[in-house]
Structure 1
């Protein structure tokens, strides 16, 4: 069923229930349903038909959701991008894909007969951009079945229902945050969509929100003043074990998950026991030559169709319905915990040894004063690369290099220990909240003055 039809059904039963609150206003379910209806008629008048690709980029997250749901109701495929992109940037981002309409302003309301579309599970119902943590973002397209049929499973794992208020504290151009907002609306909950991290008003939002859906590095601020929060759903990066301890102290349950824009949900951890396959997901970790780690392959109903316009990217598939984006993990057997180690193409080759950055980051993230950290390989004339750590200080100044090296000696093999140490006021991040490794590497290569070497 289209998400728009979920909204219309909730509106018929509880029209006065608050559906969405944004920085510029709010809508009840009755008001949102009216807006979607009128906007869908406008799209039809503009020539949008089932199968049309509609690009959408707006600063106001509520207006963006209306446009997305109107396109959904019309049977079109909404493709959400950044509101700051001009038409030239959109053209670069979508490559060979043909967009039928670009929406960059709130849609007007049109009168007329209802827009009707006989939705099918195989419809291309959603498209979004990969996070681009290791390269240029690519537009990923999903069928209706792969997009909405996973909603009930997430609801069960996180206990999200129509009585909840779900805070979605990030840009809806991120697939993680867009999914969170539309999932909330599909359940009949209230979606709070500030559009970006609501630093100044976080406490006010948390005073009302019962659930927050976010990336792990934002959890400490949320758990410091949890307000009415019951559950935090965290995805997009590795979860620091300290976060679960802090959540337990704050009376907040954490549901963490691993996935990718191309693969959707792969594994989840609802109780701190480790990542296990998300419902209806099969996982294989296939051996890689010369490595103790294997490559994660997935088969499930939630897999994407691939990249729009035939764009090249990390997604690969075999002839039996399995897909991978190159993430690596320790050997895995059915019934075990998936021990993920990150993206395989980020491995550092140094002096004949292979170092997985996430292994190093996991150890160094525990050092007091380290807010977050990115480990990359820096060119070296004889070793190929040397392990380089770029840390974000949790406070006014970074911890001393002597402490960092002492922790590295106690917890890492010789090849894994960083030889170069840098600090930045804050790490660059993708729209999904992941550290942007490629941009960190570019900063170092260009000698960016904001990157300070620790001596």
Structure 2
């Protein structure tokens, strides 16, 4: 069932309840339901319905949510992008997808009867990009139930209900934040969507009213123990929590639900109480051994998986004939009933100080440096930035030459902060550098990886 139908049901039951609040204003459930229905009729009258990809680039997050749910109600597939992209950038990122309907401003209201369309289970209902605007995003498509059928499980694990106020302090182009906002509305809660991480004074005001927050690990310390905060739960997705963070949150009365997943996989494993990651409901996990390594590749089978990449774009998602899927992440050996210990991310995308850096873009520049046989770029944990860009170079070029090339060929966020050298990079069966394995060895302090000075 489209999430818009949930919004319409909540509007009938609690019409004056606040549904969504953003920098441009707020809407009750009755107002949001009316806006979604009117916008869906507008789309259908323009011939935008089942089978159409709707590229959405609205700056106002409340208007963006309304447009997303209107496209879904009309039977189209909403694709959220970065509102700062110009049309040339949109043309680049949607080229593999084919023709799309572009929406760059709030959808108008069209009067008429209720939109009634019987959704099909096989309908592609959601699409999102796998990385932010610093790299070459891939558009991932999934069926409606791969998100919506997991909503009750998240509600139960985090204790989220219709009386909650859910703070979603990040851009909705990120699937982590888009999922959080849509889940809140499906649940009947209030979604607070500032569209970005709030400034200090604004954050304090948000925390005074919110009961639940969705965020990434390096932002958790920013909300723990804040004076006047009404938070009782934090849903944290992404990298592992820093040591002591959960304990500090607990002392402040904040329950932390941490999870591991990927845009292509959705939820994989969840840590409810600090005892480690265990399969999210409905998920089967295998860690398949890698020859010559103490780590293995994480494979998943579940109802929450995406269908793949729009336009058959290349990406890390792989399937076997038994329905198991991987994005190349690596973990320590695992057996059912044990804790899953993830050691590296397969897609390699680095979140650093609010920017998303795609390693391949950095590697392409650094490979041109004389003396570089090959290079792998990964993210290394950082207490305030989340991660810093780290280059592991095969060969022995001077660090000064590497840094000079980075200054002239890369944006500031893309430039490595840490440099390492290695005699030979480990490789996959296809001969490509094994990025996740390199990241795991670096984290383990492998003596074969030396710091460049």
Measured against the shorter chain, the TM-score band is 0.7 to 0.9
Partners of 1:95 and 1:311 within 8 A in 2? no
- Determine whether 1:374 maps to 2:388: yes
Deviation at 1:124, TM superposition (A): 0.7
- Determine whether 1:390 maps to 2:417: yes
- The corresponding residue for 2:422 is none
Deviation at 1:197, TM superposition (A): 0.5
TM-score by length of 2: 0.81
- The corresponding residue for 2:120 is 120
Partners of 1:54 and 1:99 within 8 A in 2? no
Partners of 2:377 and 2:392 within 8 A in 1? no
Deviation at 1:20, TM superposition (A): 0.4
Distance 2:312 2:376 in 1: 32
- Determine whether 1:215 maps to 2:216: yes
Partner SS, residue 224 of structure 2: helix
Q: How does 1:424-435 map to 2 (within 5 A)?
A: none
Partner SS, residue 241 of structure 1: coil
Partner SS, residue 206 of structure 2: helix
Partner SS, residue 290 of structure 1: coil
Distance 1:294 1:384 in 2: 33
Distance 1:273 1:182 in 2: 29
Partners of 2:225 and 2:249 within 8 A in 1? no
Partner SS, residue 221 of structure 2: helix
Distance 2:447 2:309 in 1: 40
Q: How does 1:293-372 map to 2 (within 5 A)?
A: 293-344=295-346, 361=380, 372=386
TM-score by length of 1: 0.80
Q: How does 1:54-133 map to 2 (within 5 A)?
A: 54-131=54-131
Change (3 A) 1:133 1:30: closer
Change (3 A) 1:288 1:356: farther
CA displacement 1:200-246 (0-9 Å, x = unmatched): 30000000000000111111111141600000000022221221022
Distance 1:187 1:275 in 2: 25
- The corresponding residue for 1:24 is 24
The count of aligned residue pairs is 392
Partners of 1:210 and 1:228 within 8 A in 2? yes
Partner SS, residue 72 of structure 1: helix
In structure 2, runs of 5+ residues without a counterpart are: 349-358, 364-374, 403-414, 419-443
Deviation at 1:343, TM superposition (A): 2.2
Distance 1:233 1:417 in 2: 36
- The corresponding residue for 2:367 is none
- The corresponding residue for 1:206 is 207
Change (3 A) 1:105 1:135: closer
C-alpha root-mean-square deviation of aligned residues, in Å?
2.9
